[in-house]
Amino acid sequence: MPNTRLDNLYQLLVVNQKYAMMNWYERYKELTDQVELIRAKLIAGNGLKDNVVYQGTIFENVDNPFDEFMHRFIKTEEEGGNGVSSNGQSVVSNKLFNGPNTFKNDSGFITAVENLIKTPDSTTYEEFKQTWNNQAGAVDNKVLINRTAAACYLDVSSTVEEGKFNTLFNWLQQEGLIGNYPGNPYSWFEKNIFTVQEIDVELSINNGDKHWRNIFIWRLFEYIGNPFNLKKQIIKYGAPGTGKTYSAQADSKLQFEIWKTEYNVTDSKYEDHVEVVQFHPSFSYEDFIEGLRPMLVNNEAQLSLQNGIFKTFCIKAGKWETDMYKLDTDGTFNYQTDTISDLENNAVFEPLKNTEKYFHWKFIFEQENKNKRVVDALPPFFFIIDEINRAELSRVLGELMYSLEKRGTAGKIKTQYASLNTADNCMLQVGDPVENNFQFFIPNNVFVIGTMNTIDRSVESFDFALRRRFVWEEVMPNILMLKGYLGEKYPQWQELAESLKKLNERILAEPFLGRDFQIGHSYLMDLPYSDHLTAKEVRQDVWSNSIKPLLEEYLRGTGKHLTDYKEAFGLH
């Protein structure tokens, strides 16, 4: 039965970013397709040094096809590696690789390579590895050895660094995403085959594409190495039109779906877990946290304390932590490290099992895996701030600087209007109720995602203290993504990707402009034009309607003209 959690992860890590990885995919597929063609010639009785082996391949018309193939297949240290993966820290000197009696000129090594290509299995893999390590002066280049094997056999993944693969393998087993492995625990090759087979069974949205499946396995490793829950405050910044707000919403929605699947929650909706607000120069602390606002009481206007949008959001997201704080009066339970099992076995939390009053706890106690941390099980809530730098941030956030850094009830603070709070509008009441000690905190399960255009001069509103409380993710114009998108959706317009690339190169070369003033790829995506238009017609419309007005604003007062930029975009 397909695993919905794996499908959601595939959607997040591959489908949503497929265009950005298209260059890797195409290079990976190119090499494995060439190996497939060469395999047929070897099985027919030819040898790797025979030129006939390379007929019909990309190496056919080069001076030394064998040398070119072996360099790409095994040695290359170019950016992106041989197409399967990068070489990491593994290198083989030209002397060792090209010497008269070593590596590619050694008959035993050539035979091992031929056997691996013809029949890639654990036996030929081990023979190839042994032959490699027997070369004079060779070191155990595991990455290059495994990368070569992965180029011959798509049923092993492109995660060729054994330490990284084992980290992923263990995580997949701990999470129950693959079954128990019965084979040799020390064989990268066999564990890889097992992992790939298990994922093929569990993954339903891949459509049988082995290259994307293997890229997904690598992306899973990157995901567990830098999981979303470590990024509680993120700023997505960059040039206009790079899809910052779109990606914030798309990523948060997929993260929510991943949480739902992992914890078997069926009755929660993403729309109830997200809030989007756009900052502007008049946005204030009173709008964001709380403040005195006029309201009608008996047909008379009176000032009363009203909660702002962020405080209201945090009260909703923080009810789990508030419950634990109220019940654990001695503060002995640490929900940052303690598990669901610890929660169940702690007598002070017995009231939480009363599902009528604490119904929001029900799904946590129903979890089969009791070793999950309580903090990880809490539902994620996403607060997206568009144009975050357009407000006067020190005034809007006030004392929240402390709570952003120290999450949960451990970072509780008194707000500016704490003395006016009541039990009805407060977030947390601390100590004796008679003292009216009302405090605020930012829950651990709240993710704050801000977006900002770096060309906006109000970027200076981020002081250094505030900057270090956020993870900064630059979102740049992605020409590869645009090329892949146009190639799939509108192949007749694909040349527009190159036009945007050349325009941005011209902008980068202009001292008055530069990196932050580039044109984002979204200006050429989801275009509202008939697909019967030619690329030239679309280029002219995009220039007139979107790019020209933007560049005119950029260049206002500089004395510069648009002619060079128009030509760079492909218009004359």
Query: What is the pLDDT, as a whole number, of residue 98?
Result: 80
**Which has more pLDDT, 463 or 566?**
566
Residue 51: Cβ within 10 Å count: 12
- Reported as a single tens digit per residue, the pLDDT across 50-71 is 999 999 999 999 999 999 999 9
Helices then strands (H, E): number in the chain? 25, 9
Query: What is the pLDDT, as a whole number, of residue 431?
Result: 76
- Compute the 3-state secondary structure of the chain and give helix, strand, coil in percent, each to the nearest 5: 55, 10, 40
Residue 86: Cβ within 10 Å count: 17
> Is the pLDDT at 457 greater than 70, yes or no?
no
Query: What is the pLDDT, as a whole number, of residue 382?
Result: 96
> Is the pLDDT at 270 greater than 90, yes or no?
yes
Instruction: Classify each residue of 467-498 as buried b or exposed e, where b means 16 or more C-beta atoms within 10 Å of its C-beta.
Output: eebbeebebebbbbbbbbbbeeebeebbebbe
Angle between helices 479-489 and 496-509 (to 10 degrees): 160
- Reported as a single tens digit per residue, the pLDDT across 303-357 is 889 999 999 999 999 999 999 999 998 888 887 889 999 999 999 999 999 888 9
- Reported as a single tens digit per residue, the pLDDT across 550-572 is 999 888 888 788 999 999 999 88
What is d(CA 236, CA 246) in angstroms, rounded to the nearest whole number? 11
pLDDT band at 473 (very low <50, low <70, confident <90, very high): confident
Q: Give the 3-state secondary structure of residue 471.
A: strand
The structure tokens 């090594």 sit at: 109
Query: What is the pLDDT, as a whole number, of residue 29?
Result: 95
Both tokens of 354, joined, read 């009363």
- Reported as a single tens digit per residue, the pLDDT across 125-149 is 999 999 998 886 777 789 999 999 9
Q: Give the 3-state secondary structure of residue 209.
A: coil
Q: Give the 3-state secondary structure of residue 58.
A: coil
The model's pTM: 0.78
> Is the pLDDT at 2 greater than 90, yes or no?
no
pLDDT band at 518 (very low <50, low <70, confident <90, very high): very high
What is d(CA 420, CA 2) in angstroms, rounded to the nearest whole number? 53
> Is the pLDDT at 293 greater than 60, yes or no?
yes
Both tokens of 506, joined, read 């011209």
Q: Are 112 and 148 in contact (CB under 8 A)?
A: no
Edge-to-edge strands of the sheet including 471-474? Answer: 274-278, 381-386, 446-453, 233-238, 471-474
What is d(CA 482, CA 388) in angstroms, rounded to the nearest whole number? 26
Q: Which amino acid is residue 337, in one-letter code?
A: T
Query: What is the pLDDT, as a whole number, of residue 454?
Result: 82
Task: Provide mean pLDDT across the span 406-422.
Answer: 90
The sign of the dihedral angle between the CA atoms of 411, 314, 244, 164 is positive
What is d(CA 455, CA 239) in angstroms, rounded to the nearest whole number? 7
Task: Provide mean pLDDT across the span 436-446.
Answer: 91
What is d(CA 444, CA 312) in angstroms, rounded to the nearest whole number? 15
Query: What is the pLDDT, as a whole number, of residue 354?
Result: 85
Q: Are 216 and 10 in contact (CB under 8 A)?
A: yes
Least confident of 186-190, 255-259, 564-568: 255-259
pLDDT band at 124 (very low <50, low <70, confident <90, very high): very high
Q: Cα–Cα–Cα angle for 410, 398, 403, nearest 5°?
A: 15
Both tokens of 191, joined, read 């564990």
Task: Provide mean pLDDT across the span 429-453.
Answer: 86
